Amino acid sequence: MAYIPHTEADRRAMLAAIGLERMDDLYDAIPQEVRFPDLNLPEPISEMEITREMLTLSEANLEVQHVPCFLGAGAYNHFIPSIIDHILQRNEFYTAYTPYQPEISQGTLQAIFEYQSLMCNLTGMEVSNASHYDGATALAEAVILALNQHRGKRHKVLLSPTIHPHYRQVVRTYTQGMGLTIAGDESLDISSAMFAEMLDEETALVAVQYPDFLGRIEEFSSLGEAASKTEALFCVVVNPLALGLLKPPSEFGADIVVGDGQPLGIPLSYGGPYVGIFTTRQQYVRKMSGRLVGETVDSRGQRGYVLTLTPREQHIRRDKATSNICTNQGLMALATAVYLSIAGKQGLREVAELCYHKAHYAAEKIDALDHYSLWHRGPYFHEFVVACPRPVAEINDQLLEYDILGGYDLGQVYPTLADHMLIAVTEVINKEEINDLVDVLEEVAHD
Amino acid sequence: MEFPTDLKYTKNDEWVQVEGNIATVGITDYAQDQLSDIIFMEVTAEIGEELDKDATVAEVESVKAAAFIYMPVSGVIVETNAELHDTPEMINADPYGAAWMFKFEIANPVELDDLLDATAYEKYCQEREH
């Protein structure tokens, strides 16, 4: 049966209702001459020719498989075991996202259930949803949860200045028009100790990043306690890979843990698709957006999976919904689940340790150079800030001539960190590549 | 469908039982039947809170829909049924008894005159059945 939503009669009735005669009348506002512009496209070519052309174009890209990449800042180049792609591309999984008759797709539900369980293990939290689009939307949803937890009576949100700048932008976009005060990130000088002072009865949520955008690792126990005293929810944005090594945020009082799952087996892919991790305490499960898969037994006592919490925003809560997010990143969530299950607890720790040690090796070598120094002396994970003798963009241009992808120019987002480079070192970088970076940095210290 | 005659009703499908200056509120048999299986209930107002008529006091969610429970008349919340949070299915099983939701002190008894009696409410429900 063909799916034809509107008959000709339906269309006529709808047009009549708004006082139009023809469908074209809807486009009256668009000038005739720009409705069908001449696109000036070349003549059609054969598949063989177009394949060659696309290959030539793609070869003009600089790929992280071919050059060492010291650029991180929220998206990281890690090794991706080939098994992940093999599983993702099985046609049972490689289809549209969660089916609308979910229980008929037990495999999909089981995959989501495994993902949720792994995320809970990693973050130490009690419940995980089936995922969000990316880390930024997950943080925005944490803000929404906190506002609803306080029933709209609290209007202040504290964001640490060292949460990823894009995440903070997304929170502002998401909540615009809601009359919120989003504070705390006006200056890099605002520390988590000052946050404890800024918390008040108006604060719905306080959020920090761990490790922070500048790579630093901080212990947030006292902030967690301060948040709890004012009944503000405490949200921690994590790099899930770092949790292979670090204490989970549940141990310092996190109410919500969010993050981007990209480091767990998802390629950089020019910025996406990635997957947003969202985990929280059991007591907030009904305020959590998205869906949640549960395990149960069927009428014959066999294990089965169900959508315990469906995307209720769509078909139950409707106008009473507190979030508009209904979907998830099923395939990307599966990638992280496969990554974590083949790495195992020990493997994940080893990857994290490799990143940590290689980054520390690189940082010490760079710090020993005459014209470069580490900006920060405390603990850090696999990313660190280097004060440079010249503008970062110029240094990066020269690194590129040596086929090295340099770090992130922090002056773009933190005016006080002009001429500071954020360098990420992951397990795929070898010692020789680090030594090359150090040598070239020394060489390009002056014009 | 039951419409106890000793209760008063609202067009939002709450029942109200008045004893002195205290009113007890729940949702009607008709409301629970329309919602079908109720899986979640939360009182969102706090004890001691002073609320106007039609202010939101509680929220229920069934497998089909979510609904708010409103103040039938203005007053101060004095007690809520904490057990209902863990046993929302009681709202389906015993809407006029165990599933009472909250009690409040009536601020302005004159407002009670606007509530429906059982006959009027039953008629109102029938009108909505098509």
How high does pLDDT run on average in chain B? 93
Q: What is the DSSP string of A77-103?
A: -----HHHHHHHTSTTTSSSSS-SSGG
CA dihedral B81, B84, B85, B91 (to 10 degrees): -130
3-state secondary structure of B116: strand
Distance between CA atoms of residues B73 and B108, nearest Å = 8
pLDDT digits (tens, 9 = 90+) for A214-242: 999 998 999 999 999 999 999 999 999 99
Q: Answer whether A320 sits within 8 Å of B66, measured CB to CB.
A: yes
pLDDT digits (tens, 9 = 90+) for A324-370: 776 778 899 999 999 999 999 999 999 999 999 999 999 999 999 99
3-state secondary structure of A265: coil
| Residues in a beta bridge with A25 | none
Distance between CA atoms of residues A332 and A38, nearest Å = 39
Residues 6+ apart with CB under 8 A from A337: A111, A114, A115, A118
Q: Does A300 touch chain B (CB under 8 A)?
A: no
C-beta separation of A131 from A125 below 8 A: no
Which CATH fold topology does B8-108 show? OB fold (Dihydrolipoamide Acetyltransferase, E2P) (2.40.50)
Output the pLDDT for position A290: 86
| Pairing outcome for strands A420-424 and B56-62 | unpaired
Q: What is the DSSP string of A151-209?
A: TT---EEEE-TTS-HHHHHHHHHHTTTS--EEES-S-TT--HHHHHHH--TTEEEEEEE
A423-446 in b/e form (b: 16+ CB < 10 A) is: bbbbbbbeeebbebbbebbbebee
pLDDT digits (tens, 9 = 90+) for A173-224: 999 999 999 999 999 999 888 998 999 999 999 999 999 999 999 989 999 9
Domain spans of chain B?
8-108
Q: pLDDT band at A313, cuts 50/70/90? A: low
- ipTM at complex level: 0.73
Q: Answer whether A320 sits within 8 Å of B63, measured CB to CB.
A: no
Does residue A1 register a pLDDT over 60?
Answer: no
Q: Which of B35, B57, B63 to mutate to test binding with chain A, by most A CBs within 10 Å of its CB? A: B63
Residues in chain A closer than 8 A to B62 (CB atoms): 316
Which residue in chain B is spatially nearest to A151 when comparing CA positions? B44
Which residue in chain B is spatially nearest to A310 when comparing CA positions? B63
Domains and their CATH numbers in chain A: 83-338 (3.40.640.10), 345-443 (3.90.1150.10)
Picking from B90, B125, B88, B95, the residue whose alpha carbon sits closest to that of residue B17 is B95
Output the pLDDT for position A401: 95
Query: What is the share, in percent, of chain A residues with pLDDT greater than 70?
Result: 95
**pTM for the structure as a whole:** 0.86
State which amino acid sits at residue A81: P
Burial of A244 from C-beta contacts in 10 A (0-12 / 13-18 / 19+)? buried
B44 → closest Cβ in A151, A316, A318: A151
Output the pLDDT for position A36: 83
pLDDT digits (tens, 9 = 90+) for A52-76: 999 999 998 888 989 999 999 999 9
C-beta separation of A138 from A278 below 8 A: yes
How high does pLDDT run on average in chain A? 92
Q: pLDDT band at A38, cuts 50/70/90? A: confident
> Which strand (E) or helix (H) includes residue B88?
none
Does residue A122 register a pLDDT over 70?
Answer: yes
Output the pLDDT for position A312: 58
Between the CA of residue A306 and those of A2, A98, A204, A293, B74, what are the distances in Å? 30, 12, 32, 6, 42
Does residue A92 register a pLDDT over 70?
Answer: yes
Q: Does A286 touch chain B (CB under 8 A)?
A: yes
Q: Answer whether A286 sits within 8 Å of B42, measured CB to CB.
A: yes
